[in-house]
Amino acid sequence: MKSLLLAVVALISATAALALDPPATLPGWLAGAWEMREGESWSDEYWTAPRAGVMIGAARVGKGATLLMWESTRIERKADGSISFFAQPRGVPAAEFPLVAHADGMIEFANPAHDYPQRIRYWREGRLLKARISLIDGSKPMEWGYAPLGGN
């Protein structure tokens, strides 16, 4: 009887621990087409819905009719279950940024060995998508505030 009681206590403890620290999921709330405009300057970002452990993204930054930068991105659940953000500006080899924090409507990745950025954070504020990149200590931040493309 004592061993049965210990087994039940162990099972409840394990279940409670899982409830306190649920495994990270891919950020489905990021999916969609997003844009930001400030005068002649513009930026847009696109994310697919999660499927088969990956979200595919793309971004462009420009001024007027001139493209200043483009990037291919992805958020992927790796074979070991961890989640990472991969960035390929202008098609260079991908830089990996492992997941360091997540909550409802927020996800953050970091790679202190990368030159810039070292930290990438996305979060939702209502219908808006916010993004910030910075050095690992938060210095040299750049921030974007995206609305749904087309105002939807």
Mean pLDDT, residues 9-34 taken together: 63
Instruction: Encode burial over 85-105: b for 16+ CB neighbours within 10 A, e otherwise.
Output: bbbeeeeeeebebebeebeee
CA distance 145 to 75: 20
pLDDT at 15: 37
Neighbours of 107 (CB within 10 A): 23
pLDDT in tens, 61-95: 999 999 999 999 999 999 999 999 999 999 999 99
Kindly report the backbone phi and psi dihedral angles of residue 39, in degrees, each rounded to the nearest multiple of 5, phi listed first.
65, -125
pLDDT in tens, 50-65: 999 999 999 999 999 9
pLDDT in tens, 95-127: 999 999 999 999 999 999 999 999 999 999 999
pTM for the model stands at 0.83
Neighbours of 26 (CB within 10 A): 19
CA distance 149 to 7: 53
CA distance 66 to 75: 28
Contact 77, 26 (CB under 8 A): yes
Mean pLDDT, residues 20-32 taken together: 79
Q: Are strands 95-103 and 106-110 parallel, antiparallel or unpaired?
A: antiparallel
